[in-house]
Structure 1
Amino acid sequence: MNAKSNLEVWLRGPLPDLTPALQPVAHALLQAVEELSAIAPQFPALLLWEKPAGVASVGFHLLHLTGVLDRLFTYARQESLTESQMEYLKNEGVPQEGISFHSLLQQFKSQVDKAINQLKQTDETTLSEIRYVGRAMIPSTQLGLLFHAAEHTQRHLGQLLVTAKVLMAGEKSL
């Protein structure tokens, strides 16, 4: 086993073909994939939509992680959301029958792959350019959107991991 593989993603060095300014965004997204992949084998399917103490379910967080990345990277490309993206947003909080942690994780991994490809194609000289968010056209910068995508992913990852741990501990005590 490679000693580097035991390190968090950001300590393994830069990703090839990616500007230094965007390395932290890519590292945060890839770290999320690794941490979710690590709990996937132990997470019981029947707990996916459970809301301990009324907090958001693990299923919600997985859907939301994918959707937010898609939306924020769309805005970073200076594009408006599609009807499909708006429909996805409306359904993020709705439990989906027959869907598994693994399939939601695969959707998130696919979205991270798309995001990394977009990061690799991003011209560093455009990072300070204004981009607009939502129907209200709230101004941000391209870098602000990309950084927020990474930060938001890490925030929801943390919430998901705590919720999963509480749920799995509760299941063991029954």
Structure 2
Amino acid sequence: MSKNEKNEYWLRGRIEGVSDMLQPAAHALLQSREEAEAYLEGFPAKLFWERPAGRASVAFHLQHITGVTNRLVTYAKGRQLDEEQLKFLDNEGIPDVDLSLSTLLEDLENSIDSAVMYLKSLQEEDLTRKVGIGRKRIGSTLIGTLFHAAEHSQRHVGQMLVTISVVKAKMGDW
């Protein structure tokens, strides 16, 4: 690994094809993906659904980052959620012992990669366009929606790290 790859994404330079105004969003999304993978290395599947102190499970955070990123990009494109997205939303956090870590991480990676590809398709003049969020089409802007997707992913990675730490301590470093 080169020295450059050890830095956080925002210190690794531009993401090719992403406008300067959206570089922070791309960096945050890619950092979320990288940190989730690193934090979960060696995490046992039997603990995915543990909810210490009634808080969200590790699996929920992975599902939620995946789902929210996907949903916000859908709204950014001016669309409403389809049946598959609504079903995914309904199932977030419902324990499913058949879900593997590799599946959860692959879904997260695909969602983030898709979001970054969408960022590459945008021009800076698009960023102030109005966007309707949810069924009520609550008003935002394209840039606001995309930055929220990025910061939301970072927030849940942080919460997931705390959950991992608590579960790890509770289980004696598994």
Q: TM-score, normalised by structure 2?
A: 0.97
CA-atom RMSD in angstroms: 1.1
Matched position secondary structure for 2:17: coil
What letter is aligned with 1:95?
P
Unpaired runs of at least 5, structure 2 = none
Aligned length: 174
Deviations 1:89-134 (A, max 9, x none): 0110211121112210110001111011000001210100101011
Shift of 1:2: 1.0
Counterpart code for 1:129? R
Residue type of the alignment partner of 2:116? I
Question: How far apart are the structure 2 equivalents of 1:106 and 1:161?
Answer: 18
Query: For the residues of structure 2 that align with 1:81 and 1:108, how far apart are their CA atoms?
Result: 18
Deviation of 1:39 after TM superposition, in Å, equals: 2.2
Correspondence list, 1:82-121, <5 A = 82-121=82-121
Q: 2 CA distance for matches of 1:102 and 1:172?
A: 24
1:67 aligns with 2:67: yes
After superposition, the C-alpha distances for 1:44-82 in whole angstroms (9 at most, x for unaligned) are 111000000000000111110100000000000001110
Q: Which residue number in structure 2 is paired with residue 54 of structure 1?
A: 54
Give the partner amino acid of 2:112: V
In structure 1, the residue matched to 2:4 is 4
Q: Distance in 2 between matches of 1:166 and 1:111?
A: 27
What SS does the aligned partner of 1:69 have? helix
Q: Secondary structure at the match of 1:140?
A: strand
- Please give the TM-score of this superposition, normalised by the length of structure 1: 0.97
In structure 2, the residue matched to 1:40 is 40
Partner SS for 1:131: strand
